[in-house]
């Protein structure tokens, strides 16, 4: 129960930050990605702030022997670039550029009941479902 409450509070803070920063506004995101057109550089400060906070807090927090709400650290160890990682990053970037949403801001925008984030999240879930089925088929054939 305690982990769920912590996850909720952290998610709520994240959602509020996305709203305040403008990440839930597709036109602001597309403007940021349009470096050869009408570029809007304001999201550089959002990303820069996130990188600075992560840089220092990661080093501080991982000095502990374990996390506050878990028995052990679960830090990814894989470092190689695989074709599936590159393809997934490419598709993520194309989807972000075309739609102006990535998953976090899209989910945060659902309460607005605007059709765009609802469609984005719906198709995102469909894509996840298709990936799971295709991945299962490919694993069976191996």
Q: What is the pLDDT along the chain (142 residues), one digit of tens a residue?
A: 677 888 899 889 988 988 888 888 888 888 888 889 889 898 889 889 999 999 999 999 989 998 888 888 888 888 899 998 899 899 888 888 888 888 888 999 998 889 999 999 999 999 999 989 988 888 877 6
Please give the DSSP secondary-structure letter assigned to residue 93.
H
Query: Burial letters for 55-86: b for 16+ Cβ neighbours within 10 Å, e otherwise?
Result: eeeeeeeeeeeeeeeeeeeeeeeeeeeeeeee
The pLDDT of residue 142? 66
Every domain of the chain and the residues it spans: 2-141
The pLDDT of residue 34? 86
């Amino acid at each position: 129960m305690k982990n769920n409450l912590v996850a909720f509070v952290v998610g709520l803070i994240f959602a509020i930050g996305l709203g305040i920063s403008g990440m839930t506004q597709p036109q602001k995101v597309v403007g940021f990605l349009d470096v050869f057109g009408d570029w809007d550089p304001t999201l550089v400060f959002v990303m820069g702030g996130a990188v600075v906070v992560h840089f220092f807090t990661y080093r501080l927090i991982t000095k502990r022997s374990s996390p506050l709400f878990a028995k052990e650290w679960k830090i990814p160890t894989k470092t190689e670039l695989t074709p599936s990682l590159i393809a997934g990053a490419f598709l993520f970037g194309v989807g972000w550029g075309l739609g102006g949403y990535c998953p976090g801001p899209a989910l945060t925008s659902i309460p607005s009941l605007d059709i765009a984030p609802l469609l984005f999240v719906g198709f995102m879930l469909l894509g996840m479902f298709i990936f799971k089925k295709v991945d299962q088929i490919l694993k069976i054939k191996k």
